[in-house]
Homo-oligomer: A and B are copies of this chain.
Amino acid sequence: MSDAQTTSPKMTTEAMEAFLEREFPQVFGAGKLYHVEAVGHRFARMRCRYDARQLRPGGTISGPTMMTLADTGLYVAILASIGPVALAVTTNLNINFLKKPAQRDLIAECRLVKLGKRLAVGEVSIWSDGEADELVAHATGTYSIPPER
């Protein structure tokens, strides 16, 4: 997108992880599976650690785990772009599950295709670490951005 390469993110990866740990302890607290790997303007790359507890019958990482990864990643991409000033709220999430994930970490790359004053829309590609050429899931999400206080 337009200025993704030239505009600096509003938060570093470290500041982002500290913010998430404080605000979402149930997802990003001790022993957490979800990690922020990199942030940029309108961008985030996330990692979800492989953990046998996530498995559903058949040995697959669960759908809800991937939905949480996509939703969280887009939220992080928005925070990285506008700073931790507002509480964006998910209004829509659409996810396609494409193939059975391997028994390894998942990587999610999240890009905002729109960053308006009131609305942000992004897309997410998810793959098994080391197997980037065949996605395991693809998602899009819409977020409502409340007026600045």
Contacts and interface: CB of A to CB of B under 8 A. Distances in A.
Contacts of A97: 89-92
A95 B92 contact: yes
Interface of A: 1-3, 23-24, 26, 53-58, 60, 62-64, 67-68, 71, 87, 89-99, 113-114, 116, 119, 121, 123, 125, 133-135, 138, 140, 142
29 contacts: A1-B133, A1-B135, A23-B57, A24-B56, A26-B55, A57-B87, A58-B87, A63-B71, A64-B71, A67-B68, A67-B71, A90-B97, A91-B97, A91-B142, A92-B95, A92-B97, A92-B142, A94-B94, A94-B95, A96-B113, A96-B114, A96-B121, A98-B114, A113-B135, A114-B134, A114-B138, A121-B138, A123-B138, A138-B140
